[in-house]
A and B are shown apart, each in its own frame.
Chain A
C-alpha cells in the first residue's frame, strides 16, 4: 500500500536531479578553468625555464665565455679570465684593434649581464655578471 506519496519521491528525485546538474556543472566549470590554467601555467613555465637558463645560469655563462676564449680568432691573444662569486672578468691587451673589436662583438652577441666594460684600441676589460 502506498504510504509515502509517490509524488513526494518524484519531487525529491527531481530536486536532487536539478541539484546534481547544478553541482556537476559547477565542477565541470572548475575543471575547464583548471585546464585553461594548466595551459597558461605551461606557457609561463616555458618562459620561466628559457629566461632562467639564459639569465640565471652560471654554468651556461662560464661555458660560453670559455668557448669564446678558445675561439681560433683569439688563439694568439692572451685573454685573462678571473672569476668570483659575482661574475667573470675578462681582460685582453693587444696591439691589434681588430682583435679587440672581434672580442667585443662576440660578447655583445651573447646574452650576458654586462656589469662593466672598458674599451680602448689596445685593451678591453669586461665584467660579466652571473646573476
Chain B
C-alpha cells in the first residue's frame, strides 16, 4: 500500500540508459530490459500459488543471479509471469540519478503500455508481439512508432505493482521483522515494568506517610533524627544518673566505716555528705568512675560534689 498519495506524481520510463534530473516524487515504468516475461500454464488456482513454481519454470531461461518473481493471472491456469533482478533495477535507478526515497510505485512496461501496440522512447522502439508480450526491437523495424515521452503523465496505471525491495539487499527482511517484533515485545514489557515500579514507589511513599501519621512523627527525617538523638541523649544521661547513685550507695562494699548523711542531685551535680568517713578512701573509690568537682572536709563531715 502506498504511504503517499499517487496524485500528481511524475511518471517516467526507466531503461538502462535513462538519465533524469528530477527531484519530485516519481512512479517508474520498467523497460523490458529489466525483466523476463513469459506466459506459463500452471495448474493452480491463484497467482500466489503460481509464484511458488515460477523459479523452476524460469530456471532454464535466467542467467545465474538472484531473481524475484511476479505472477498475474490471465485466465484459468494461465499466468503472465515475470522474473526480475531486484539489485540490478536498484543499481540502474541510482545510475539514472534518482534516489530511492523519491520513488513512488514501480510497474512493468508490459502491463502499463498496452494501449500502444508499438512505441518509442529514449530513441528505443518497443512493440507487443502476437502473444502480447512487450519486446524491445531495433528502431529500423518500425518507422511509425508513437513517441510516448510526453504522454506518460496521462497514463492510468494498473494495480500490478512491482514489489521492489529497495533495502532488502543489506539484511534479510524476515530477520529484520523478527528482531523488530522482539524489540517491540521488550519495549512493551519494559513499559509494563516501568509503570509497575512507578506504582510501587508511590505505594512505598504512601506507606511511609501512614507510619509517620500513626507514630505521630515529624514530616522530615532531619526533624525525626534530631528528636531521636535528643531522646537517646536524655536516656543515656538518666541511666548515667541512676548508675552514679547506685555506685555511691554501694560505697559500703569498699569502705566499712562511715555513713551517708545526705544525697542531693540538682543541675547535673550530685552532692553527697558523708559522716565519719575516711576522706581519701571515699575520694579514691568515687574517682574510679567519676570526676570529683569539689571536696570539702569539715569536722567529721566530708562533702563531695560530682558533675554528672
Contacts and interface: CB of A to CB of B under 8 A. Distances in A.
Contacts, number: 154
Interface string A1-39: 111111101100110110011011001101100110110
Nearest to A117: B265
A118 B264 CA distance: 4
B232 A6 contact: no
Interface stretch (B131-139, B147-155, B165-173): B165-173
Interface of B is mostly: helix
Contacts of A118: 262-265
Given A13-B184, A41-B211, A28 B197 contact: yes
A120 B261 contact: yes
B183 A47 contact: no
B2 interface: yes
Nearest to A50: B231
A95 to B, nearest CB: 16
B284 interface: no
B191 interface: yes
A34 B202 CA distance: 10
Interface of A is mostly: helix
A56 B231 contact: yes
Interface in B216-244: 216-217, 221, 224-225, 227-228, 231-232, 234-235, 238, 241-242
Chain A, interface residues (CB within 8 Å), range: 35 or more
Contacts of A74: none
Interface in A90-106: 101, 104
Nearest to A41: B208
B217 A48 contact: yes
Interface of A: 1-7, 9-10, 13-14, 16-17, 20-21, 23-24, 27-28, 30-31, 34-35, 37-38, 41-42, 44-45, 47-49, 51-52, 54-56, 101, 104, 108-109, 111-121
